[in-house]
Chains A and B, each alone.
Chain A
């Protein structure tokens, strides 16, 4: 079974530029999450989707971050414009069940460096 796929693995941009990360969850997984993980800390939830609907985006900085999961499968997270403090690893994860049940599987992450 293929795991959660993320791209790109690494991205370096200058502040005020934009960046987009892509995630393809495990086939059939209804719930998809985007997390931000700053070096040395645990993951922090940015947004949770159930199919193509948003369950929780309370911690997403909506003035600069946006995410979509249009067809309930893959998802894109965008940052525009980027700030220095956005330097982090962006982890995508998915769970099989509706309402976020089942084991959580993570992708390898996309490491963003903002200069």
Chain B
């Protein structure tokens, strides 16, 4: 069964600090992995997409990594800001008919001043 597990479930950090969110998946065959940011009361917005051959990709203060061998991804946030407070959702796409998507439960990040 395809699964995506995210950790931690929730995280509180002080403004300016760094943090790393984890995503482990068992989706097969693997196509790509996306990290989404979901602000409270809003729809998820894509931060980055990782394909099989990519190890690291950055989007401003967000850096995603992918280890296709261990089926793990991480999202590192540098110099956190109050606006980073949100849920971060890992979504893995399978390379099959319909390109089925499997969602993680998300990590709820709170950045405090």
What is the bound-complex CA distance between A100 and B97, given in angstroms?
8
B101 proximity list for chain A (CB < 8 A):
33, 45, 100, 104
- The answer to whether A56 and B98 have CB atoms under 8 Å apart is yes
A-B contact count (CB 8 A): 54
State whether A108 and B46 are in contact (beta carbons under 8 Å apart), knowing that A48-B98, A99-B97 are contacts in the complex: no
Residue positions of B touching A, CB distance < 8 A = 6, 34, 36, 41-46, 49, 89, 91, 97-101, 103-106, 108
- Chain A: residues with Cβ within 8 Å of the partner, total of 25
B99 proximity list for chain A (CB < 8 A):
99-101
Q: Is A42 positioned at the interface, with any CB of B under 8 Å from its CB?
A: yes
What is the bound-complex CA distance between A4 and B46, given in angstroms?
14
What is the bound-complex CA distance between A75 and B97, given in angstroms?
22
B36 proximity list for chain A (CB < 8 A):
106
19 extra A-B contacts, CB within 8 A, seeds A40-B106, A109-B43: A40-B108, A42-B89, A42-B103, A43-B103, A50-B98, A55-B98, A56-B100, A91-B44, A100-B99, A101-B99, A103-B34, A104-B34, A104-B46, A106-B44, A106-B45, A107-B43, A108-B41, A109-B41, A109-B42
Q: Is A64 positioned at the interface, with any CB of B under 8 Å from its CB?
A: no
